[in-house]
């Protein structure tokens, strides 16, 4: 399925959720669903899920959605066990699986096509685990998935996407962080 189709479906039901998105997905998410509650997580590959956990624990009244990459999650598999143990009811962890390090030239990730991210999440103790490879099914099941008490884990199996315009100055810029901070403080 295509990433943009899934992101459009998620944008339609996002509400006031905090969304932590990594690398290429962060740029496409900001284009599709711009919001001061978007936190682009780049510069420390693998940390998106950890940032999401911290925000979920710090803001238990607000839904937190992580749009992780398969390559990013491979860099920090231990986060699955930590999230499952912490059991944040407000955390939904999506893994965008396309089998590549898309932000770095689409080089294949180790174990592409063999790694079972849903299996990792089940083994770590996530109470709700899903995998989607059809955008229509994903869009239909998304509202119920978001209503579950978390943590929730879902693999989104994507074909490598079209090139996404990137603006790393925006992503790493002080204004982006200040915008997010102000949104969390209700300003």
- pLDDT tens digit string along 40-60? 887 667 788 999 999 999 999
Q: Is residue 149 part of a domain?
A: no
Which residues form the domain of 97?
3-133+156-184
* Residue 62 near residue 17 (C-beta atoms within 8 A): yes
Average the pLDDT over 2-10 and give the result: 91
CATH of the domain at 43: 3.40.50.970
- What pLDDT does residue 101 have? 53
Token pair listed for 89: 């009811």
Q: Is residue 143 part of a domain?
A: no
Q: Is residue 12 part of a domain?
A: yes
- What pLDDT does residue 71 have? 80
Residue 49 neighbours by CB under 8 Å, 6+ apart: 66, 68, 72, 73, 76, 79, 80, 83, 93
Q: Is residue 179 part of a domain?
A: yes
Q: Is residue 138 part of a domain?
A: no
pTM: 0.90
Q: Is residue 139 part of a domain?
A: no
Q: Is residue 146 part of a domain?
A: no
- What pLDDT does residue 48 have? 87
Closest CA to 171 of 11, 29, 12: 29
Instruction: Report how many domains make up the chain.
Output: 1
Q: Is residue 88 part of a domain?
A: yes
Instruction: Please work out, in degrees rounded to the nearest 5, the angle formed at the alpha carbon of residue 161 by the alpha carbons of 116 and 1.
Output: 55
Highest mean pLDDT (candidates 42-56, 137-151, 168-182) = 137-151
pLDDT tens digits for range 94-109: 998 875 556 565 556 6
């Amino acid at each position: 399925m295509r990433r943009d189709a899934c992101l459009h479906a998620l944008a339609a039901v996002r509400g006031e959720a905090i969304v932590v998105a990594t690398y290429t997905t962060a740029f496409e998410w900001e284009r599709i669903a711009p919001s001061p509650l978007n936190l682009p997580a780049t510069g420390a590959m693998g940390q998106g899920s950890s940032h999401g956990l911290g925000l979920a624990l710090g803001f238990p009244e607000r839904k937190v959605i992580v749009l992780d990459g398969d390559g990013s999650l491979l860099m920090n598999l231990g986060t699955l066990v930590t999230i499952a143990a912490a059991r944040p009811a407000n955390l939904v962890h999506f893994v965008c699986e396309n089998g590549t390090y898309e932000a770095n030239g689409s080089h294949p990730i180790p174990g592409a096509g063999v790694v079972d991210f849903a299996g990792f999440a089940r083994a770590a103790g996530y109470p709700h685990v899903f995998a989607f490879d059809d955008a229509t099914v994903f869009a239909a099941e998304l509202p119920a998935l978001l209503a579950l008490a978390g943590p929730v884990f879902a693999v989104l199996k994507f074909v490598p996407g079209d090139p996404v315009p990137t603006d790393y100055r925006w992503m790493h810029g002080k204004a982006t962080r200040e915008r997010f901070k102000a949104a969390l403080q209700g300003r």
